[in-house]
Structure 1
Amino acid sequence: MAQQLSLAKYFSGVNDREKRKADETESKKKYETKRSRGFVESWKEEFQWVEDTDKGMICNYCKEFKDLAGKTKFVNGNISYRIENIRTHDASEKHRNCADAHFAAQRKADNNAQNYQGPMDQAIRKLGEKNKTLISYMFNTAYCVLKQELPFTLYSTMLQLQIKNGSDLIRLQSYQSERACARFAPYISDAIREPIREKIANCKALSIMYDGATDCSVSEVEIVYCRMLDNGYPKDFFVGLEELEHAHADGVFSAIDKAMTDYVSIHWKEKLVGAGSDGASVNLGVNNSVATRLSNGKPYVLNVHCVAHRLELGILNALKSNQNLITVQDMLKKIYKHYHYSPKALRELRNIAESLEEKVLKPTNLKGTRWVPHISKAMKYLVKDYTVLLAHFEHVSQSKATPEVVGRGTFISNKLKDYRLLQFLFFMDDLLEIISDLSLHFQKDGTTCIDFLDTLETAVLNLLQLRQQPGAKLQGFLDSITVQNNKGLYKNTELKYYSPQFDYTTLQSVIDIVVDRISGRLENPNDPTKSILQAAQIFDTKDWPNDRQQLAVYGTQQLQQLSDHFQVFLDNIGCDRNQLLPEWVHVKAHIGNRLINNVNLPKINTLFVQQPDQYKNILMLIEIVLVLPISSSICERGFSALKRIKSDWRSNLTTDTMNHLLLASIEGPSLDEYNSERAVHLWWTGGQRQRRPQFAPGPNMVEVDEDQLLNFLLNV
């Protein structure tokens, strides 16, 4: 009964509440009718775009760009003088587009960007100088995480450390989670990529380098770099990483096209003059490959087989059947295995080194991105630590270890006392030092076809010199041997199979094979790119003749050959090919005058800075030559960064996230040089609604992406 009375009492008051609500609404209407609203001048201090007119409030930005503004009352006049209406319009996407267009027009009209205020200045006014500084601190911290290839989870820890050290970051309690760091990453990478895109947009020619691999998540990916001129010198830039749907030629080409289109330009094919890759058939096959697709309709595009790969293949082909080298490799592998998998063995080695008053390094593995530098490094360690290693393996051979370990110690100690093998070891140390320097030079960033042949010729001459007489390492070994009772001693160790008669003929034959294989790989007459790369040598000022008459006709035929090959491309970029020869004569006169006066010649790259307008046609051809890719080794360095970032613990990172992380790691400036202002601007203006840096979530609230939340609400 009591419950029925309470319900009746509740429903009886419904009409009273509705009546009171209606009275309040009517009262508000009367108040608004009597109240005279007007424009408040202080609003312009926060919103400089608003202006009061006879027709009401208007937005100067939207009025200037009506096509972008769409249907908004702030174009013709908004008579609803409320601060809420102004704030709503300021946060709208169409208003931001009009504002960006307005400032872009001002930037184009005025080269001094400091004479106007952009959206970032409005953000500063809203945030306040203090908050703006704190947001920059967060972006600097996020950039440190990306640049140092650290996991996102360390972001909040680093912020907590700064707060503990007295930072004011405690004032902003939002955007301090690991998810915030992940959301900052796209804006940081976009800020890094913007100047790269601008340089690519202004260049006339570019080349690409690409390579494929399988990451730790067992996904096939293709990495892409591009090369262009930056202040007259070739510069390689990371483009992107794309996951392959198929590993055949169509799949690889589609991945390259997607990366270049998404991150560079949809018109990248119009500027393409060359492509570099390894020798895989899917990349450089004659009939059905990526190279045939890149050259489809563009016969001038040069598809270059990476010279570093070709050098490795030539050396391996030359030495793979040499029994002494096979023995040396087997010995080096056993030495590495012995110390890599046994801390006790490494500890014993260091104790022996300490007793002998010598320093010892842990032997290295033969495996690596490049075989030649790694085996050369392993040999150098063996030669340097010879005494300590021999003493330890002799001890191992007489120990009570397992038969496998004792057998390994006996094998290595016997080989280290073999005079013939030591002789070959020191010879290979001299030989591989030359080849390793050549390989490392081919792997340098920015190596051009102009440098290629000179470096190769220098290496060949060094090999021929080594053929005439023993190198420094081998000669030092021979000189250090002492003879007692017709027995050879090296570092107080008696050598087996010692002979006082040194026969260099066998070792000379090894050099002949190496020179022949290198020349066959790097100077293959059937290589379609060889003639163009050789013709490009005319732009190497070191090879110019001293005689004035010879200089006058130097390079004329090669210039015509290059002009004919790139005829279609030169015409497309507006080059007057009839002016190439006259300008070439002027270039030789400008630079060659110093040659006749016995002055060191500058590189031809200096013309891009000193005389860009006077020689504009010949510089177009020189730009093409300089951006041709000789090596794709930079792709291997990209995969090394990929391996460091995408580890087994972070195998779920998406391709988009990996692109952000790789770009920051590879192309990002140092922490000292990094400026977060542009990234903060992109973040502030990139949201679908206004950012809330001062929003403090409750202790039980879960931080949610603002853009995802807005999309969810719009779809409800």
Structure 2
Amino acid sequence: MADEQKKMTDGAAARRQASLFNFGFSANVPDSTKIRRSHEASKKNYEPKRKRLFQKSWSSIFDGLQDTDSGMLCAHCVARHTGNTSAATTDSSTFVTGCRSYRIDSIRAHWESPRHLACVAAERCRDRGHGPLDIIVQKLGEQNKHILEKLFNTAFAVLKNELPFTSYPVMIDLQIKNGSDIKNIQGYATSKACSRFATYIAESVKEPLQQAVSESKVLSIVFDGATDSSISEVELVYCRILDKGYPRDILVGLEDLQHAHADGVFDAIGRAMQSFAGENWLDKLVAAGSDGASVNLGNHDSVRTRLQQGRDYIVAIHCVAHRLELGVLDAIKNNNMMQTIQDLLKKLYKHYHYSPKALRELHEIAELMEEKIIKPTRLQGTRWVPHVQKASQSLIRSYQVFITHFEHISQGGPGSASAEVKGRATFIAKKLKDFRVLRFLFFLQDVLDIISRLSLQLQRSDSTCIDFLDSFESAALSLTELSSTPGQRYAGFIEEVRAGNGKFKDVTLAHYDGDLGYEFAKDICDDVIQRLCHRLENNRDKSTEIIQAGRIFDLKDWPRDRLDLANYGHDQIRLLSGHFRIILERNECDVTELQNEWMHVKAHFGQRLRNNPGTNQPYQINTLLAEQNPRLTNILKLIEIVLVLPTSTAICERGFSTLKRIKSDWRSRLTTAMMNHLLWISIEAPSLQEYNAERAVHLWWSKAQRQRRPQFVQLTVPQDVVDQPDSEEQELVDFLMSE
């Protein structure tokens, strides 16, 4: 009862004291508590205004602590991060990027963290002395590296030859059977290992390419789209730079297309170029080459309009090899005899392609006649001209065998073949014995020989805008000659028919009346030349004007007279410098000095051309870029722009051929990232004899998320072997490698 009364008394006293606090009275608080509360309040007001600084005494307390402009750094963690950029132990630490929290508590927390302790341990292992066991570990690593390079060379051989990953284990087993020391490496002999190695091999191939592109002041791109074996739309991108004075096409890579319209293609090109050439690739771009699809080169809402938005100097170039094909098709698509030839070649191909029985009979007849037979080829393909040429050549080469077979089918008894097959055989045999058809076929062969040579010239990787007009002019002259003078193939056919009195290879030809006139050829050749000129010299296209202006750098066209040479090319220099003024000034080119330096260029080569008019060694403007004459720094920048202008997209077609070989129906699950690795190795990597795997092995070793362990085996090393003297270290290494 007394305790309860005491509690009530204490509670009343507390309530009275609380009520007194409301009127300004203070409690009887100890002085120490008042001082502590006052100190905390003042500290709370002072701390936000306080400017903390680095204390020099911290450097002696914490080994490796440094004060820099970016904040406090830990030398151990920075060294570990620099040596291994993928190390997860240092990526998230502020003492690698710079810590501005100048508190000793922050430093202690980092110095006691597992991250820091791991970095210190790694540095001690790296810098420790060269005792017996250290030398053993080093030698063991060198032998492992030697074997790893063999593994990477084997993987490179598989990838360079476009073989599947499953070929890699077989080649490893073969080398082990032949006595190779690859067996000392435990693991890394599976197809999965080959696919992992591909990433680092491709990275080692790509690094110098990216370096060359980053150092280039100007570049151009070439792009084309296709659908691969997995029915995925992809865009293939190449870039062209100048390497030692000569153009070089570099594979940028494949990029998936989200949509096939202009925005989708432009975004795909941007992603590919940004990942390969950096974010400033558009500032270096001077030209873009593609086929003539409207999504690429249309005047409205195309890739071309997006590239030229704010960059009017970028030249959009339609592939000249593609324009060549279109010109030839324009010339002959309305020719009745050409339609007959096309129909004949198509029926010939279908007859043997869809009938194994017919193909077997053809080979039996060829064997009896002791003739070689080539299976007829189709007309459709990437390029029309070479396919028609190849199909017509196979027909002419095995003419007698085809005639014999089709006559046998058409004259067969009931039940030997269907009415449709007999009708087709009768039609083909009739056309093959028509003198007019054969005469035009041989004439077409002469025309296609000229066009094919021109097409091959335009498809060369080192072809520039300076070269292609020469190739076209040469083809035009050959066609002009062919319009009046029969070609080699046509002349040989006419001579044989005349000698055989209307027979060709012992086959009597219909509609032969002794008229061997050649008048029909002139109209066809003239039409082909006219339409090619219309396609290749389209004056409405701005790119044609720029390309023709670039011809002034072709020394073969320079006048030999001094007065004519003095006035040569100034208008073209003015046109080119005005068009590319923005990109020239961005590259610190003094445009006002171009005309003066152009005179120096003409003086440099003009005297040599006059003094050596009959020299067999042609002078080229590319030598100036290799010499880098300091008096010509401005004009060389303009020459570089002209030489990187692309004229053909044939390099993309070759890239798609490589893509088709690698990503077949049996490997259709390859991702775009892996396809890029395989394409870089197949297209850009050196030959197997020239390949050095050291860089790829280094990347594989240093970019791992965890430590590589090529010798991971549970070993039990006898103590007496460990305690061997230094002179017997090699025996210990041999023992470890033999386990």
TM-score range, shorter chain: 0.7 to 0.9
1:649 positional shift: 1.6
1:502 positional shift: 2.5
Q: What amino acid is the match of 1:622?
A: I
Q: What's the counterpart of residue 513 of structure 2?
A: 499
Deviations 1:410-451 (A, max 9, x none): 222111110000010001001111111111211111211101
Q: What's the counterpart of residue 357 of structure 1?
A: 370
Q: Is the 8 A contact 1:91 1:690 kept in 2?
A: no
Given the alignment of the two structures, is residue 530 of structure 1 paired with residue 557 of structure 2, yes or no?
Answer: no
Q: What amino acid is the match of 1:537?
A: R
1:85 positional shift: 10
Q: Is the 8 A contact 2:241 2:247 kept in 1?
A: yes
Inter-partner Cα distance in structure 1 for 2:441 and 2:120: 75
Indicate how the Cα distance of structure 1 residues 434 and 152 shifts in structure 2: closer, same or farther if over 3 A, else same.
Answer: same
Q: What does 1:294-443 correspond to in 2, within 5 Å?
A: 294-399=307-412, 400-443=416-459
Inter-partner Cα distance in structure 1 for 2:536 and 2:596: 33
Q: What amino acid is the match of 1:583?
A: E
Given the alignment of the two structures, is residue 517 of structure 1 paired with residue 531 of structure 2, yes or no?
Answer: yes
Given the alignment of the two structures, is residue 682 of structure 1 paired with residue 712 of structure 2, yes or no?
Answer: no
1:548 positional shift: 1.5
Q: What's the counterpart of residue 449 of structure 1?
A: 465
Larger CA deviation: 549-558 vs 604-613: 604-613
1:614 positional shift: 3.4
1:357 positional shift: 3.5
Q: Is the 8 A contact 2:242 2:643 kept in 1?
A: yes
Inter-partner Cα distance in structure 1 for 2:197 and 2:685: 15
Which among 183, 186, 200 is matched to residue 173 of structure 1? Answer: 186
SS of equivalent residue, structure 1 residue 213: strand
Which among 458, 461, 472 is matched to residue 488 of structure 2? Answer: 472
SS of equivalent residue, structure 1 residue 526: coil
Inter-partner Cα distance in structure 2 for 1:59 and 1:409: 91
Inter-partner Cα distance in structure 2 for 1:131 and 1:550: 69
SS of equivalent residue, structure 1 residue 146: helix
TM-score under structure 1 length normalisation: 0.81
Indicate how the Cα distance of structure 1 residues 404 and 559 shifts in structure 2: closer, same or farther if over 3 A, else same.
Answer: same
Inter-partner Cα distance in structure 2 for 1:575 and 1:267: 19
Q: What's the counterpart of residue 12 of structure 2?
A: none
Q: Is the 8 A contact 1:276 1:632 kept in 2?
A: yes
Q: What does 1:120-131 correspond to in 2, within 5 Å?
A: 125=138, 127-131=140-144
Indicate how the Cα distance of structure 1 residues 149 and 91 shifts in structure 2: closer, same or farther if over 3 A, else same.
Answer: farther
What is the identity percentage for the equivalent residue pairs of Structure 1 and Structure 2? 53
1:194 positional shift: 0.7
Inter-partner Cα distance in structure 1 for 2:632 and 2:301: 40
Q: What's the counterpart of residue 253 of structure 2?
A: 240
Indicate how the Cα distance of structure 1 residues 265 and 72 shifts in structure 2: closer, same or farther if over 3 A, else same.
Answer: closer
1:237 positional shift: 0.8
1:57 positional shift: 7.2
Indicate how the Cα distance of structure 1 residues 405 and 639 shifts in structure 2: closer, same or farther if over 3 A, else same.
Answer: same
Q: Is the 8 A contact 1:173 1:697 kept in 2?
A: no
Given the alignment of the two structures, is residue 89 of structure 1 paired with residue 89 of structure 2, yes or no?
Answer: no
Which among 537, 553, 560 is matched to residue 574 of structure 2? Answer: 560
Given the alignment of the two structures, is residue 638 of structure 1 paired with residue 655 of structure 2, yes or no?
Answer: yes
Q: Is the 8 A contact 2:220 2:239 kept in 1?
A: yes
Q: What does 1:61-210 correspond to in 2, within 5 Å?
A: 62=75, 88-89=118-119, 125=138, 127-210=140-223
Which among 670, 677, 681 is matched to residue 653 of structure 1? Answer: 670
Q: What amino acid is the match of 2:427?
A: F
Total equivalences in the alignment: 616
Which among 245, 249, 266 is matched to residue 262 of structure 2? Answer: 249
1:455 positional shift: 0.8
Q: Is the 8 A contact 2:451 2:475 kept in 1?
A: yes
Indicate how the Cα distance of structure 1 residues 122 and 498 shifts in structure 2: closer, same or farther if over 3 A, else same.
Answer: farther
Inter-partner Cα distance in structure 1 for 2:137 and 2:163: 30
Inter-partner Cα distance in structure 1 for 2:456 and 2:288: 21
Q: What's the counterpart of residue 104 of structure 1?
A: none
Q: Is the 8 A contact 1:174 1:696 kept in 2?
A: no
1:89 positional shift: 2.1
Q: What's the counterpart of residue 600 of structure 2?
A: 586
SS of equivalent residue, structure 2 residue 631: coil
1:283 positional shift: 0.6
1:507 positional shift: 2.8
1:389 positional shift: 2.1
Inter-partner Cα distance in structure 1 for 2:343 and 2:713: 64
Q: Is the 8 A contact 1:373 1:439 kept in 2?
A: no
Inter-partner Cα distance in structure 2 for 1:440 and 1:319: 20
Q: What amino acid is the match of 1:593?
A: Q
Q: What's the counterpart of residue 686 of structure 2?
A: 669
SS of equivalent residue, structure 1 residue 615: helix
Q: Is the 8 A contact 2:77 2:116 kept in 1?
A: no
Q: What does 1:205-284 correspond to in 2, within 5 Å?
A: 205-284=218-297
Inter-partner Cα distance in structure 2 for 1:296 and 1:518: 31
Q: What amino acid is the match of 1:605?
A: N
Q: What's the counterpart of residue 54 of structure 2?
A: none
Larger CA deviation: 458-467 vs 153-162: 153-162
Inter-partner Cα distance in structure 1 for 2:136 and 2:251: 32
Q: Is the 8 A contact 2:410 2:425 kept in 1?
A: yes
Deviations 1:166-218 (A, max 9, x none): 11222112222222111112111111011111111111110000111111211
Inter-partner Cα distance in structure 2 for 1:658 and 1:546: 52
Inter-partner Cα distance in structure 2 for 1:348 and 1:373: 28
Determine which structure has more spread, i.e. the larger CA radius of gyration.
2
Deviations 1:312-343 (A, max 9, x none): 11211221122211111121122222333344
Q: Is the 8 A contact 1:172 1:696 kept in 2?
A: no
Q: What's the counterpart of residue 550 of structure 1?
A: 564
Q: What amino acid is the match of 1:222?
A: E
Inter-partner Cα distance in structure 2 for 1:649 and 1:296: 43
Inter-partner Cα distance in structure 2 for 1:345 and 1:134: 55
Q: What does 1:37-76 correspond to in 2, within 5 Å?
A: 62=75
Inter-partner Cα distance in structure 1 for 2:406 and 2:523: 32
Q: What amino acid is the match of 1:491?
A: K
TM-score under structure 2 length normalisation: 0.78
Aligned-residue RMSD, C-alpha: 3.1
Inter-partner Cα distance in structure 1 for 2:135 and 2:623: 43
Q: What's the counterpart of residue 624 of structure 2?
A: 607
Deviations 1:604-632 (A, max 9, x none): 11111224433221111011000001111
Indicate how the Cα distance of structure 1 residues 612 and 143 shifts in structure 2: closer, same or farther if over 3 A, else same.
Answer: farther
Indicate how the Cα distance of structure 1 residues 435 and 202 shifts in structure 2: closer, same or farther if over 3 A, else same.
Answer: same
Inter-partner Cα distance in structure 2 for 1:637 and 1:429: 25
Structure 2 residue ranges without an equivalent (≥5): 1-58, 67-73, 83-89, 99-103, 109-113, 127-133, 716-739
Inter-partner Cα distance in structure 2 for 1:55 and 1:153: 57
Larger CA deviation: 122-131 vs 661-670: 122-131
Deviations 1:650-688 (A, max 9, x none): 211111111111111111111111111111111111012
Q: Is the 8 A contact 1:646 1:653 kept in 2?
A: yes
1:143 positional shift: 1.4
SS of equivalent residue, structure 1 residue 275: strand
Inter-partner Cα distance in structure 2 for 1:241 and 1:609: 32
